[in-house]
Amino acid sequence: MCSHSQNQKHYPELNHGSGAKWIKSLTQNRLSTFLGGHFQDVNLSSVLYTHRIDGSHHVDLQVWSAPGLTKPSFHEAMKQEFKPAKKGDSFGPSWTNHWWKVTLKIPSYWQQYERVQFEFDPGCEAMIFSTDGVPLQGITGGYGGDRRVEYIIPSQAVRDGQYAVVIESSCNGMFGVPWNGDIIAPPDMNRYFELASADLVVPNQDAWHLMWDFTTLREIVDTVPGNTALQNKALVTANKIMNAFTSGDPENVKRLRGIAEDVFGKDWYAKGDKIYNEGPKKVQVVGISYCHIDTAWLWPYSVTQQKTARSWSTQIDLMERYPEHRFACSQAQQFKWLEEQYPTLFERIKKKVASGQFHLIGGSWVENDGNMPSGEALVRQFLYGQRYFESRFGKRCETAWLPDSFGLTAAYPQLIRDAGMKYFFTQKLSWYERNVFPHSTFNWVGIDGSQVLCHMTPVDTYTAQATVGDVNKGITNHKNLESDATALLVFGNGDGGGGALPKMLENLRRIRATTNEHRELPSVSMGSSVEEFFADIEEASKEGKMLPVWKGELYLEFHRGTYTSHGSIKKGNRKCEILLRDVERVATLTSLLKPKGHSYVYPKRAIDECWEKVLLNQFLPGSAIGMVYDDADKLYAEVREVCTGLLEDAFSVLLPRSSPLLSNSTSETLVAFNATSFARHDVIKVPLSRNATRMKAQVIQTSADGKHGYALMHSVGNKVASQPVGMFSVCMPASVFTNGTDHFVLRNANVQLTISEGRISSLIDVRLGRELIPKGSSGGLVIFEDRPNYWDAWDVEIHHLETSTPLSFSQVRVIAEGPLRAAVQTQVKFGNSTIDVTISLDAITATMKGNSRSFFNFDAVVDWHERHKFLKFELPLNINNTYATYESQFGFVQRPTHKNTTLDAAKFEVCGHKFADLSEYGYGVAFLSESKYGFACEGNVLRISLLRAATAPDAEQDQGRHEFSWAVMPHVGSFLESDVPMAAFIYNSPLHGQLGFSDNAGHIVPPLPFWLEGAPNIFLETIKRGEDDFQPNASGTTVILRMYEAFGGHGSVKLHVGEHVPVKRAYVTNILEDIKGELGLVSTTGAHSTLKLEFRGFEVKTVKLVLETEESDLDISDISSTVSSKRDSWVTVDEEL
């Protein structure tokens, strides 16, 4: 016999078996039966718990229900009288809060078990407190994927045999209380929740870990491409576990866990978090836990405060058991709420921030809307956010973070960099309708050329569940692996809060163990920060040189209806932004120029509180439930009230000889305050009494009933006083003509508008003899059917443009005949709604620019009672261009008027701020807006969006009364040659106050001590006191001036500072007011100081002036005569008819 035959293993000669061939798909389908479902009483689910007990002997429940929608604190609740409760009781209605005292008696023999838990499922959200009021952990009731109802009882309490906690349950789910289960449905205000569980349980820890093992194996099978070694091995292993499972044998589960090591590796579980130290050094996917909490959405602000505490305490709890767990958290507002309402939890968070487990990101006050806040408001989002983080935690954020904003302005890169950050994370653009965004990691370049390193996670969500599919998608869905092959896995339940769950952290450990043994999946790491993730990309890409570039806005092809939804919020935002700008300007002037010894102090705290309210509301794009907008309206009302008072306080110091202008004034001179830096003329409406002889002499035109007059106000240079003047030579008397029925013409010497048969049939530049509306076309109000495919308040679909119905002005009548103002009043009735529109033309031009034209103003009062209708105003124009221009923050953006590509077609509804413009060489027409943000230009038809009427998630969205204005402004020259940005700035900045002096003493109003000379494309936006002036150890006085280039080109200006504001030093700072460099200061003896400033296109520049004297040493009496007698109030100018 040959020796080699003797050494071979025996291979049977005969085979009577059927073979081991499987039908793979059937085996794979089988895996779904191992957990829950029809076989839950005999599969793995049947052994997840060793013991479960309830009843008053072991779980004593006492409850107190807070009255109404009140939200008492822990200590307030503990003073109340509690009554017995039991499992199965129901509590409600929606949004109410219920407090529980829970006393647990734990069987002594349970000390043998690894873990004992209290399971509390109220069907809604809840928070567990210690008996002395420390928040311990959040509860999410119900049976969704965000369920977390278990609380681990401390080992010492198990040994003691008793334990007590306090629980606050709130009658809302993670996503509010939608009426019919549809997430966007209006809330059911009468929902009750049943206490489904209040049990002491002993979980079978081996069974739970086997469940997590099996889950990961099954996810591998479902994710990894078919017929790979890893997929087949995972399927074989999972199948073995199912075959070997025996429900009645406790030791059986432990043995089954050993089978899973065939995929995860030998003894992988014993390594715990050290599993991340093995395997590849260069990982492809970096995990970071995150908990997105909408500051308000399907729940009001008060519920968000509770959600924050629940979610963040839960994450701290997880950090104790999972050392690799790192939690990233944004929104300074939520931290402040926590600091005020849950101080003990806030102190725990501070410790976790210091230990490096709780990461601060974002740098902003809230995760605000990225389209509608003004440029200055975006600055304040970062200023207030970063300074809060620094003041509480000793550090600022390094990464800007806006994962859920509905598009992002191209002003952001510059502002992010100027806020001390260079990294940016977002992902909402993955919600594309048609065009896939082409990059995952790229340099995002803004309108001024600034760039940030941007990552848009290829996982396509900020609420990943940390599944194998999520990790794999981080690479398979990556758009530019050739330049960067890493992805950020942002995981944890969100929108309504919650954050990471234990199952997610367990799954990630198993995925890492798998990739330590196999290469078919991307490797995932835990324990690092978002900044480390970006820093690695920055280094690997050679400081971004190897990355693609995206220039301009990040336009979301979705949720375009939010530019218009909830018009009152849009108006509140715009008006309060401008009011705060004016308050800061006036208060700064007052603090610098007050009389010696006067007690006036710059109202920093009040201004900060107002800004925080405005910034908070900027989370709201227009798609929340009605309760949210009730709260927001109250905040705006508070801001208006406070700011009005602040203006009155300041004017009583600046202009002490003034008195309120009343209808019975007899011998006074009219003076108003110009809070802009532009010379301007305005037509204002003033009340007249029968005896107001002097006041009547100052008005040029009187209403038919004699109760009101129209005065022409004029301010020049840096003079803040605007005083009445006569009809000077550049005025063009306005008039209105009618044939008495259906033909009306508003006209002055440079423009003319005709309303014929209820439509605007003609718009003429009189000086050029140019007709601006094509022959046979007409403009005016138009209404569209508005039925989005799903997201009602969020979306407007392109097909709405196919359903237009032109509306005709009716009951047109002349109400002002000139010469200062000509006007007609019209009415439109549609459905259940009435739209009253006053169209007026003044005898002045839009700005003081030489070839400026007048604009036609439209003041609307609407009683709106439609459903699923979209009201717009449109004009077809005899102008041809492939793009239209829209104001954005600190500049503008140009968007296509055509549909050449799907990218172009997608921009059928866009966001703009104070103007939209369609121009060609030589001429253009702009719409000016004082509170609207939705615009469109389809071919040559320019539109402004006025009102929507969605019914979800707010069933009464926009119902009722609205007042708003817009204007049609023809202009000579293309947009870049026009005065449109200046006109829009002035249009949004009405004069403040109508003052009466005892004599013609308007000259006592001090001039604005800061003004620009040179390039007209540089705008002075903000004048305020320096933030550091109000720090505890502050010394000296500083003034902050913020300017920007508005037209997209270079500019050189001289910044002049008046002689009565002596400047010691001047610096360029970032928007956080950190010094970047010193400026050369040129002073003229006995005169003003001058700084020369250079701007690139769209550059935002912040200048800090350090004054030589304390504010109390500056004296208004050096400028004007000493005056006293405080004025009672300050009346805001009403520019409406």
Q: Give me the count of residues in the chain.
A: 1137
CA angle 575, 579, 581 (to 5 degrees): 120
Rounded CA-CA distance 848/853 in Å is: 10
Rounded CA-CA distance 940/200 in Å is: 70
Return the active site residues: 404
Predicted local confidence at residue 371, as pLDDT: 98
Residue type at position 531: E
Rounded CA-CA distance 381/370 in Å is: 11
- pTM score: 0.96
Rounded CA-CA distance 422/656 in Å is: 48
Contact 93, 131 (CB under 8 A): no
Predicted local confidence at residue 798, as pLDDT: 98
What is residue 472's three-state secondary structure? helix
DSSP string, 113-143: SS--EEEEE-SSEEEEE-TTS-EEEEEE-SS
The three-state DSSP-derived secondary structure of 214-279 is HHHHHHHHHHCCCCCHHHHHHHHHHHHHHHHCCCCCHHHHHHHHHHHHHHHCCCCHHHHHHHHHCC
Rounded CA-CA distance 1019/1041 in Å is: 11
Rounded CA-CA distance 589/580 in Å is: 14
Give the residue among 826, 855, 861 at the shortest CA–CA distance from 841. 855
Distances (CA, A) of 388 to 327, 333, 352: 19, 9, 17
Distances (CA, A) of 529 to 322, 326, 356: 16, 7, 9
980: tokens are: 């449109």
What is residue 653's three-state secondary structure? helix
Predicted local confidence at residue 691, as pLDDT: 63
Give the residue among 319, 265, 318, 273 at the shortest CA–CA distance from 526. 273
Run means of pLDDT, 10 residues per run, the chain, 1137 residues: 62 92 93 96 96 97 98 98 98 98 98 98 98 98 96 98 98 96 95 98 98 98 93 97 91 94 97 96 96 98 98 98 98 98 98 98 98 98 98 98 98 98 97 94 98 98 98 98 97 97 98 96 98 98 97 98 98 98 97 90 98 98 98 98 94 75 58 93 86 77 90 89 85 93 94 97 98 98 98 98 98 96 98 98 97 98 98 98 98 98 98 98 98 98 98 98 98 98 98 64 72 97 97 91 98 95 96 97 78 98 90 44 30 32
Predicted local confidence at residue 139, as pLDDT: 98
Predicted local confidence at residue 994, as pLDDT: 56
Give the residue among 1125, 1053, 1118, 1060 at the shortest CA–CA distance from 1088. 1060
DSSP string, 793-837: TT---GGGGGG-EE---EEEEEEEE-SSEEEEEEEEEETTEEEEE
Residue type at position 322: Y
Contact 89, 100 (CB under 8 A): no
Rounded CA-CA distance 741/746 in Å is: 15
Rounded CA-CA distance 774/39 in Å is: 73
Residue type at position 924: G
Q: Are strands 934-938 and 941-947 parallel, antiparallel or unpaired?
A: antiparallel
Give the residue among 207, 934, 166, 1088 at the shortest CA–CA distance from 565. 934
Rounded CA-CA distance 749/643 in Å is: 39
